[in-house]
Structure 1
Amino acid sequence: MDSVVIATGRWLYDGTAPMTVRIVRLDYDFWYAVGEANGDLDPDESPRLNADGYLFYVRHRPGWSDESEHFWPDSQGFATLEEAIAAAESAVPTAVTWRRHDQG
């Protein structure tokens, strides 16, 4: 399963402490996979990937990169990068400055 950091944002906590937020692209529906592993899916449930076979998730918590520990999102999955960015921005009190990464 593929996870890629698509965008990294920086915002200021309390006006002084820089904080990071990431948008991660997965080639699977994270929350569907959790439900499947736990046996909690409805019989008619299916993954809700976008037309390209991806979902975008917000990650606010520090300590994760696409090379280290297992990814755990801080959001639902979004069909577009723009929707994920909007969700990330609505969850923090100050403006976010974004750097987009090569989407490979």
Structure 2
Amino acid sequence: METIVATGTWMYDGVAPTTVRVVMLDYDFWHALGEAEDDLDVDESPELNADGRLYYVRHRPGWPDGERTFWPDSQGFDTLEEAVAAAESAVPGPIRWQ
């Protein structure tokens, strides 16, 4: 299940407000994709934190409000703090968190 745990806005090209979200998943997105595409090594397993979750960042345009399709722009992070820091370093300006 996906849960949006942080939302903010940054200015794309300095003029277009763009939403950034941190999403918590109870599965390893990239592992699940590899599994669905039958593209995993025999010994690969999901890499989840101690709570069985990972946090992913979406900072690029293209995920409209109300749309349930999520595709991350990042690796999975063990903590919300790590994901927020990754989001802030991925965009060329400050993020205004709500």
Q: TM-score, normalised by structure 1?
A: 0.84
Kindly report which structure 2 residues correspond to 1:64-103, keeping only aligned pairs within 5 A, or say none.
64-65=64-65, 68-99=67-98
- How many pairs align? 97
Q: Deviations over 1:4-63 (max 9, x none)?
A: 000001122343322210000000000000011111111111101101111000112333
Q: Distance in 2 between matches of 1:63 and 1:78?
A: 20
Give the secondary structure class of the aligned counterpart of 2:34. helix
Q: Deviations over 1:52-95 (max 9, x none)?
A: 11100011233345x53321111111111111111111111111
Question: C-alpha root-mean-square deviation of aligned residues, in Å?
Answer: 1.5
Structure 1: gaps spanning 5 or more residues: 100-104
Q: Distance in 1 between matches of 2:76 and 2:22?
A: 10
Q: Distance in 1 between matches of 2:50 and 2:2?
A: 17
Q: Distance in 2 between matches of 1:23 and 1:98?
A: 11
Q: TM-score, normalised by structure 2?
A: 0.88
Between the two proteins, what is the percent identity of the paired residues? 64
**Match in the other structure for 2:4:** 5
